[in-house]
Structure 1
Amino acid sequence: MINIQGLDKLTKELDQLSKAMAELDGDIAQVRFDPHDPASIEQAIQQMETSLDARVASYAGNKTVMSIANDMKEKYREGILEKAAQARLESNDEGEV
């Protein structure tokens, strides 16, 4: 007879991963910011991270879920920074004659 150790733990982690992915599906947060105000941009990033953290808080012991959440935070942070930079460029272009 073969005894496989850790299968229950793996099953539990995969179940948690599935539930966490359902929690992370869709909009995480709607944030607004002034692209010319670094503090406003940072506040939007913090709001997004707080919202994402709240969605995965019950899976804090699952390394895979937390890794995915951290990757998502970085992706969304970069997205916010890119949108702010684009908005600044567009406002500069409109102001030039």
Structure 2
Amino acid sequence: MKTYHVPIRTCVVCRQTSAKKTLLRVIRRPEKTGGGVAVDPTGRAGGRGAYVCASPECIEKAVRQRRFERSLNVPSVPAGLADELKALVPSAESVGATAP
């Protein structure tokens, strides 16, 4: 059986390495497409990316300690970025729920 390569990324807050699919990605869009910072829910959008764990604690700490600004080399990030990221975090009820 063939084994496949799993991309590994590092959280900008806790520095824990995980599979790319388990982390949330924030990107700095290229200037020619309008620039700015945005959440990349697909993980495939163009631009420089920074990854954060899918936990509310890491998201809050990333915004509070300006980790996205440092990683993406931007002066500031949008005010609602933390809320956008938290909306992508699976809730504890949906993770523990089982299908009938």
Same fold, TM exceeding 0.5? no
TM-score by length of 2: 0.35
Question: TM-score of the superposition, structure 1-length normalised?
Answer: 0.36
Choose between structure 1 and 2: higher strand proportion: 2
Which is helix-richer, 1 or 2? 1
If asked which structure has higher relative contact order (CA below 8 Å, sep 6+), I would say: 1
Larger radius of gyration: 1
